[in-house]
């Protein structure tokens, strides 16, 4: 299966408040994105591809409400708490924390866990309290287990920083081993984020590096699906599609200059470029096998 994930971060914030939202009023933003993508995505029915969109929580209800019958879009949220409600147990005393059961009740079917921005936040909290930053992977493991218990599928992000790159195998293996411990791996997809290459002026990894990471993840996890989480874009979609050990990608911003932001029509173009690139790769592979 191929996976096209969309992390909408906080792209809902209007420009007058320092955000990038220029596509719809805040109260219509979630439904606008779903309505302006789902019909076009139906064209890929039968291509064994899932389309998951991770919304900030405030927009989940509008996004779910905009889903049409047989919509190919799956709505997800951006993280869940490491504890949850239970019949006969805690009834919901989790002020400020979104639990997996809350996400499920809102209509989510998926959740994004371990994104580099979440990892950085948790590491900062632990360091400020004099704690062990390596505990981040164990906290994320608790989140994954709660998400799966609630019936959510998980996109689990891993990745190494610039300082960690010389020992990338050790870092990624620890993130995988600790994060996936005692979880149902059939409910989890891995996203690789090259944290060292994310940001203005930095050089993104080439296809060889991405392929090397994909092969390492599959070998370490026993063949779990892994997607490129460093930003699937128009200018790299065909390249990522041609990497044999990558099963999809994670999209965020669609426009990086001028009126930067997320635009549904540009998202659809990235999807087209990626899936068309993958189809060409499979066609070439079939031709070679016939020789």
Q: In this predicted model, what pLDDT tens digit does every residue of 224-242 receive, in sequence order?
A: 999 999 999 999 999 999 9
Please tell me which residue in 50, 115, 118, 143 is annotated as part of the active site. 115
Cβ neighbours around 44 below 10 Å, total: 17
Structure tokens at 149: 């218990």
Looking at the predicted structure, is the pLDDT value of residue 205 above 70? yes
Note the pLDDT of residue 143.
98
Mean pLDDT of 46-51: 96
Going from the C-alpha of 290 to that of each of 276, 279, 285, the distances in angstroms are 21, 17, 9
- 190 vs 250: CA distance, rounded Å: 11
pLDDT digits (tens, 9 = 90+) for 55-100: 999 999 999 999 999 999 999 999 999 999 999 999 999 999 999 9
Q: Does residue 264 contact residue 258 with C-beta atoms inside 8 Å?
A: no
Helix extents (H) in the chain = 29-35, 38-41, 60-65, 100-106, 116-128, 136-149, 168-179, 207-221, 237-241, 264-290
Helix (H, G, I), strand (E, B) or coil at 224: coil
Mean pLDDT of 182-198: 97
Report the CATH number at residue 212.
Answer: 3.20.20.70
- 22 vs 226: CA distance, rounded Å: 32
Length of the chain: 291
- 270 vs 187: CA distance, rounded Å: 25
Q: Is 57 a catalytic residue?
A: no
Note the pLDDT of residue 179.
98
Q: Is 127 a catalytic residue?
A: no
Looking at the predicted structure, is the pLDDT value of residue 53 above 70? yes
C-alpha torsion angle, residues 115, 172, 231, 157 (rounded to 10) = -30
- 143 vs 80: CA distance, rounded Å: 6
Structure tokens at 96: 């400020």
CA atoms within 13 A on the CB side of 256: 11
% of the chain residues with pLDDT over 90: 90
Looking at the predicted structure, is the pLDDT value of residue 145 above 50? yes
Cβ neighbours around 28 below 10 Å, total: 14
Mean pLDDT of 142-166: 97
Looking at the predicted structure, is the pLDDT value of residue 284 above 60? no
Provide the domain count of the chain.
1
- 19 vs 16: CA distance, rounded Å: 7
pLDDT digits (tens, 9 = 90+) for 11-22: 999 999 999 999
Range of the domain at 243: 2-290
pLDDT averaged over every residue in the chain: 94
């Amino acid at each position: 299966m191929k996976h096209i994930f969309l992390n909408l971060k906080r792209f809902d914030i209007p420009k007058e408040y320092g955000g990038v939202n220029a596509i719809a009023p805040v109260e219509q933003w979630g439904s606008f994105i779903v309505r302006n993508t789902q019909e076009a995505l139906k064209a890929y029915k039968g291509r064994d591809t899932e389309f998951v969109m991770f919304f900030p929580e405030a927009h989940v209800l509008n996004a779910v409400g905009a889903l049409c019958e047989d919509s190919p879009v799956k709505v997800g949220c951006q993280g869940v708490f490491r504890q949850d409600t239970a019949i006969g147990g805690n009834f919901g005393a989790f002020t400020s924390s979104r639990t997996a059961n809350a996400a499920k009740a809102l209509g989510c079917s998926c959740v994004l866990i371990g994104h580099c921005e979440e990892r950085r936040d948790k590491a900062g909290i632990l360091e400020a309290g004099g704690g062990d930053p390596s505990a981040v992977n164990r906290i994320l493991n608790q989140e994954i287990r709660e998400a799966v218990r609630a019936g959510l599928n998980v996109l689990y992000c891993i990745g190494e920083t610039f300082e960690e790159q010389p020992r990338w195998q050790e870092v990624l293996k620890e993130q995988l081993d600790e994060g996936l411990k005692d979880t149902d791996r059939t409910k989890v997809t891995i996203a690789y984020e090259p944290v060292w290459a994310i940001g203005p002026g930095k050089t993104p990894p080439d296809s060889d590096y991405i392929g090397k990471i994909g092969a390492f993840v599959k070998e370490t996890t026993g063949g779990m699906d892994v997607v490129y989480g460093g930003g699937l874009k128009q200018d790299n979609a065909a390249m990522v599609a041609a990497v044999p050990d990558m099963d999809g990608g994670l999209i965020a911003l669609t426009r990086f200059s001028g009126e930067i932001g997320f635009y549904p029509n540009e998202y659809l173009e990235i999807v087209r470029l990626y899936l068309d690139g993958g189809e060409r790769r499979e066609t070439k592979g079939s031709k070679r096998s016939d020789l």
